Amino acid sequence: MPALVDLIYELADYEKARDECTVTAEQLHAALFGPLPKVFAHVVADETGPLGCAIWFLNFSTWDGVHGIYLEDLYVKPETRGKGYGKALLAALAKEAVDNGYSRVAWSVLTWNKPSIDFYESIGAVAQHDWIGYRLTGTALDALADEAR
């Protein structure tokens, strides 16, 4: 767990959002290995240890009527990029989706992350330009939750 958490923090650094990352090894272990796991991970490693990870969960398409995979994090250590590890992680998720009858693998990428965008497009992924991601957190989340009470 500590090595996987380290990869998550490295990704947060890369995305210029380290101060937003607060996950602990205990939290991640509970999410991945608790009684009813809702989060899953694939890890690529060599004899030196973990080199990258794909952390994901199931979503559901009301249009297709089946589950899909939402890739929360894909990260490969910078010094090992270009060796096929990211593609191998995505291929494993594609296989997971196909083997289970899921209709898609989806994810988000920061608009400034051109190397990742180029990589995703090279494997046939298509940007969803008509969609804008939204997030409700912190005090705004609390305030809206209070309206339901």
Positions marked catalytic: 120
Q: Write the DSSP symbol of residue 8.
A: H
Strand partners, 58: 69
Q: Answer yes or no: are the C-beta atoms of 52 and 85 closer than 8 Å.
A: yes
Cβ neighbours of residue 98 under 8 Å, at least 6 residues apart? none
